[in-house]
Structure 1
């Protein structure tokens, strides 16, 4: 079950999964809309009869120095990175409670571990998710597993959301030099999911070997 705003990208990924013998269903989803997450979860249950895992990984990074005063960018990061993750959790928790099983995976960032200029608000949203994830883990009880995954520099379209041109150029150069493919993150998530029900992998950091 796939959900994202870019429907063309969803179709492409679903087509690749199907071409390789898998099954995929997708729905255009805007994580800023709580109802979209609720409908995505409902669709998963309609097709599969249950919900095993929810992976909250939507994120944007219109990063810049604080004195650039990109308040709209700050609001957008809060809405997508933090609020969107909380909406995903809210959509899945009632289902997991009924099932007495489930797994929440929140994709965060190493930006919340190593603080650097231009990433103040971005890192703040990611660390807010980190805090929420740990508290959720403590509240989860014996049937719900909770995992946070912190990617480093990954070859994605993340830099497309950076409006500040010097920052975009600097980070883009670094990403092109050392970034690892998204599949590295997928393997880490799969590792956590494939553990026995009584094993909860709490935190994984996945970064390029060359990343300081």
Structure 2
């Protein structure tokens, strides 16, 4: 139970990577705080975790609203007494070609993928500094490293998350014992592609997704690895892609 006595907030916990991570960390002793907008799904997940002997708290909220995040942190401290870590997992990927000017989708990606991460850090950081330690893990993407068709805005948001993570690490790890990691997956079998409305992109993605993709559990394992290193070790980046992906 290597994560025993650690309380970790997970955003986007209702499905995919967030759900798999909540299960993985709770199995190893962590108390997990489940944050997403879908309260019913969170309750189902919390129930399955507690039945398996774990500890889970449902804390529904919208990552784009700083007040929601602050309420989740307050609820966490009230219930578990502290916060030891944050996994900024919530994200959107409505890919489209720039010329189609799907500006509403651009705005949503910026709000969730960037502002959501900023809201999480600003809400949790005072607690981590007070505790003189903790972990912040941000889910970026291989898209932070290279552009792919229809991904101009999405790639830009994930590059921002990667660079923000490195800035956080340099500011927080040496002085406050707060380790920061950017997780950068390639293609993962989640519902992330369900937000795509550009039919041209859907057709191209279908061909790519015929390969054997990563599973959510693969990313959960990477997060677990980052969290379980000795405090002298900060895993800056984990760049993890399917074996078949070029």
TM-score, normalization: structure 1? 0.95
Asked if 1:174 corresponds to 2:199, the answer is: no
Counterpart contact for 2:87–2:139, Cα < 8 Å: yes
Say if 1:72 and 1:181 are closer, same or farther in 2 by CA, change over 3 A.
same
Aligned residues: 212
Provide the residue aligned with 1:58 in structure 2. 90
Provide the residue aligned with 2:156 in structure 1. 124
Provide the residue aligned with 1:207 in structure 2. 241
Distance across 1 between alignment mates of 2:238 and 2:118: 20
Distance across 2 between alignment mates of 1:148 and 1:125: 13
The runs of 5 or more residues in structure 1 that have no matched partner are none
Q: Cα RMSD over matched residues?
A: 1.3
The runs of 5 or more residues in structure 2 that have no matched partner are 1-32
Among 195, 205, 210, the alignment partner of 2:229 is 195
Distance across 1 between alignment mates of 2:91 and 2:42: 16
Distance across 2 between alignment mates of 1:175 and 1:8: 29
Distance across 2 between alignment mates of 1:196 and 1:47: 27
Counterpart contact for 1:60–1:161, Cα < 8 Å: yes
Among 31, 34, 51, the alignment partner of 1:19 is 51
Asked if 1:135 corresponds to 2:203, the answer is: no
Distance across 2 between alignment mates of 1:15 and 1:169: 38
Counterpart contact for 1:155–1:176, Cα < 8 Å: no
Distance across 2 between alignment mates of 1:52 and 1:20: 22
How far apart are 1:102 and its partner, in Å?
A: 1.1
Distance across 1 between alignment mates of 2:225 and 2:186: 18
Distance across 2 between alignment mates of 1:181 and 1:34: 30
Asked if 1:100 corresponds to 2:132, the answer is: yes
Counterpart contact for 1:147–1:192, Cα < 8 Å: yes
How far apart are 1:196 and its partner, in Å?
A: 1.4
Provide the residue aligned with 2:68 in structure 1. 36
Determine helix, strand or coil for the equivalent of 1:24. strand
Distance across 2 between alignment mates of 1:183 and 1:43: 27
Provide the residue aligned with 1:184 in structure 2. 218
Asked if 1:111 corresponds to 2:172, the answer is: no
Distance across 2 between alignment mates of 1:172 and 1:193: 34
Asked if 1:75 corresponds to 2:120, the answer is: no
Query: 4+ residue runs of structure 1 moved beyond 3 angstroms?
Result: none
